[in-house]
Amino acid sequence: MIRATTFAGKRVAVFGLGGSGHATIASLLAGGAEVAAWDDGEASREAAEKAGTPLVDLRTADWTSFSALVLAPGIPLTHPEPHWTVAAAEAAGIEIIGDIEIFCRERRARAPGSPFIAITGTNGKSTTTALIAHILRTLGRDAQMGGNIGVPVLSLEDSAPDRFHIIEMSSFQIDLTPSLAPTIGVLLNLSPDHLDRHGPADDADAAMRNYAAIKERLVVASEVAVVGVDDAHCVEILKRRVAIGPVAPLSVRQPIRPGYCLHDGWLICSDPTGLAVKLATTFGIPTLRGTHNAQNALAAIAAVRELDSLRGIKAEVDWQAALASYPGLPHRMEQVGRAGKVLFINDSKATNADSTEKALASWERDIFWILGGKPKEGGIRPLESYFPRIAKAYLIGYASDDFASTLDGKVPYERCGTLDMALASAARDAGRSTGAEPVVLLSPACASYDQFRSFEHRGDTFRDLVRALP
């Protein structure tokens, strides 16, 4: 655990009693702070109280006694409207931060030069984060992985010169980390996501600009920036970053020099003179299917190589072996079973159309697609070019009517309502397919909250259901 010594002797309000909230409270208390914790949910408060968490009703508290508010990243900071704790903190003139800000302050105080890689982007963050950690561990390094990937950053070990922190960051977390300054900052890509949290509901363009500006902060503050250049927003960010400091661009769509790119299936690094080196290929690696995973692998390799150049970590890596031994992540293109020739893929983490596109692009045909849930703006209309690959679709959840109207006349579909019914139908139909390797793909293109607690809960349920099949 990282002890929050920079808050010793101070009184700190903590709102949000999820995993990161509990880790934050433990860190602050261990560092010598006084904590006043609260949550809007009665069940969360009751569980915290049983665990001995110091609860204070922040609705009636004296906010002038606090030095800071540590806010859980899921709580609205600005849009659609600030949470009531945000308004109270602003009225009292105290700072509003997140748990990764505490990590950054402790790193600066104890080991300011320690290696810190921060990863963001709309899609691919978790895979890239896990892959970087995996590569460093193959080198025998102490790689501490956390943040938005599901491990609270303050539950990790303290910063040290020979300890690597690899931290996935959402836009919400970046917004709550004003002193963010990673050694290597990675920005993979940008597409519309969570725009309701970043701007006015009646102006999607303004919300997208705000979203991109928050993501840009991560690479602006880094010693070296690794930036994907396959979308217009990232290209503009790259142009601005070049004027500030070192940058390593990467692309899976075009050759670039200098930088990292995908060419004829190979992950390549080239220098300003044009000298190109083949590093590895993701072809044939089940945990890194698809072009999107080639981008993730490029970013991971670039981050480690650039860190080697900057810090001299002597990263003599067999890149092919490192990629081939990557075990993959739960809920992201996770192969959870096979029945004869039928593959079952859990892609529950695909909560928007852009993320589901990566899954649909990984197979040319014979996809038996399970989708639906709580829809996001635009639905599945951006995926129409992939409809010819889909043998049949199986609709679940709140989005069923909207998705049915999009699929009507283009893709055969079945309204299943629930995940268990959808899997039963998809497994039946895929088993009858004449295709060489039919795929039952859970890639919902939706949030999970209409029927499940989280995308993890949805993916775990799918995995259990698959394992129960004959």
What are the residue numbers of the active site? Answer: 125, 148, 194
Report which secondary-structure segment, H or E, holds 268. strand 266-270
Query: Which residues of 323-452 form beta strands (DSSP E)?
Result: 334-339, 342-346, 367-372, 374-375, 390-396, 413-417, 439-442, 446-447
Dihedral of the alpha carbons of 249, 193, 69, 83, in degrees to the nearest 10: 160
CA distance 226 to 184: 7
Identify which of 81, 79, 30, 35 has the alpha carbon closest to the alpha carbon of residue 56.
35
- Cα separation of 277 and 172, whole Å? 37
Structure tokens that stand for 241 in this block: 């970053």
465: amino acid identity, one letter = L
Residue 271: CB atoms within 10 Å: 11
Q: Would you call 454 exposed, middle or buried from its count of C-beta atoms within 10 A (0-12, 13-18, 19+)?
A: middle
Q: Which two tokens stand for residue 107?
A: 């790193």
Number of C-beta neighbours around residue 82 at 10 A: 16
Strands 374-375 and 446-447: antiparallel
- The β-bridge relationship of strands 374-375 and 276-280 is unpaired
Q: Which of 110, 178, 119, 151 is nearest to 23 (CA)?
A: 151
Q: In the sheet that 224-228 helps form, which strands lie side by side, from edge to edge?
A: 142-147, 163-168, 116-120, 184-187, 224-228, 247-251, 259-263, 266-270, 276-280
Residue 388 DSSP class: G
Q: Which two tokens stand for residue 204?
A: 């999607």
Angle subtended by helix axes 204-220 and 232-242, to nearest 10: 40
